[in-house]
Chain A
Amino acid sequence: MKTVLEARNIDKYFTKPVEYHVLKDISFTLPEGQFTSIIGKSGSGKSTLLYILSTMDTAYEGSLYLKDKLITGSSHKHLARLRNEYIGFVFQFHYLLLEFSVLDNVMLPALKLGLKSDEEIRHDAMEKLRMLHIDKLADKKASRISGGEKQRVAIARALINNPAILMGDEPTGNLDSYNSENVFQIFKQLREEEGLSLLVVTHDEDFARRTDRILEMEDGRIIQGT
Chain B
Amino acid sequence: MKQWPLILSIARTHLLTKMKSTITAALGVTFGIGAYITLVSFMTGLNGMLDDLILNQTPHIHLYNEVQPSEVQPINRYALFNSDLLQIRSVKPRKGQLKIHNAPPILKNLKSREDVVGVTPQVRAQIFYLSGALNLGGVLVGMDILEEERISNLGDYIVQGSAQALANSDNGVILGIGLAEKMSLGMGDRVQVSTPGGAVFPLRIVGIYQSGLADIDNTQSLTTVQNAQRIMGEASNYITDIHIKLADVREAPAMARQLQAQYKVQARDIQDANAQFETGTTIRNLITYAVSITLLIVAGFGIYNILNMLIYEKMNDIAILKATGFSGLDVQNIFMSQALLIGLIGGLSGLLLGFGLSHLIDSLPFETEALPTIDTFPVNHNPMYYLIGITFALLSTFIAGYLPSAKARKIDPVQIIRGN
Binding site for B on A (CB under 8 A): 47, 51, 54, 56-57, 76-77, 80-81, 83-85, 89, 91-93, 95-97, 99-100, 108-109, 111-114, 157, 169
Interface contact B3-A114, CB-CB below 8 Å: yes
From B6, B325, B417, give the contact of A84 (CB < 8 A).
Answer: B325
Q: For the complex, what is the distance from the CA of A91 to the CA of B324, rounded to whole Å?
A: 11
Interface contact A112-B3, CB-CB below 8 Å: yes
Binding site for A on B (CB under 8 A): 2-3, 6, 10, 13-14, 17, 316-317, 319-330, 413-414, 417-418, 420
Interface contact B13-A89, CB-CB below 8 Å: no
- Pairs across A and B, CB under 8 Å, 24 listed: A47-B418, A51-B417, A56-B414, A57-B414, A76-B327, A76-B328, A77-B327, A80-B325, A80-B328, A80-B330, A83-B324, A84-B325, A93-B420, A95-B316, A95-B319, A95-B323, A95-B417, A96-B320, A97-B320, A99-B13, A108-B10, A112-B324, A112-B330, A114-B2
Residues of B within 8 A of A157 (CB): 324
Interface contact A54-B327, CB-CB below 8 Å: no
Beyond contacts A81-B327, A112-B324, A112-B326: 13 other A-B pairs, Cβ-Cβ < 8 A, are: A51-B414, A57-B414, A76-B328, A80-B325, A81-B325, A84-B324, A89-B324, A93-B420, A95-B319, A100-B13, A112-B6, A112-B325, A114-B3
CB distance from B204 to the nearest CB of A (A): 85
The closest CB in chain A to the CB of B413 belongs to A56
Residues of A within 8 A of B418 (CB): 47
Residues of B within 8 A of A83 (CB): 323-325
Check A109/B417 contact, CB under 8 A, given A97-B317, A114-B2, A114-B3: no
Interface contact B325-A113, CB-CB below 8 Å: yes
Residues of A within 8 A of B13 (CB): 99-100
The closest CB in chain A to the CB of B6 belongs to A111
Residues of A within 8 A of B17 (CB): 99
Residues of B within 8 A of A95 (CB): 316, 319-320, 323, 417
Interface contact A109-B324, CB-CB below 8 Å: yes
CB distance from B158 to the nearest CB of A (A): 70
Q: For the complex, what is the distance from the CA of A205 to the CA of B420, rounded to whole Å?
A: 23
The closest CB in chain A to the CB of B317 belongs to A97
Q: For the complex, what is the distance from the CA of A78 to the CA of B323, rounded to whole Å?
A: 13
Residues of B within 8 A of A169 (CB): 417
CB distance from A61 to the nearest CB of B (A): 17
Residues of B within 8 A of A108 (CB): 6, 10, 321, 324
Residue with the greatest number of chain A CB neighbours at <10 A, chosen from B14, B321, B414, B420: B414
Residues of B within 8 A of A99 (CB): 13-14, 17
Q: For the complex, what is the distance from the CA of A81 to the CA of B14, rounded to whole Å?
A: 24
CB distance from B420 to the nearest CB of A (A): 5
Residues of A within 8 A of B14 (CB): 99
Residues of A within 8 A of B414 (CB): 51, 56-57
Residues of A within 8 A of B325 (CB): 80-81, 83-85, 109, 112-113
CB distance from A33 to the nearest CB of B (A): 23
Q: For the complex, what is the distance from the CA of A35 to the CA of B14, rounded to whole Å?
A: 38
Residues of B within 8 A of A100 (CB): 13
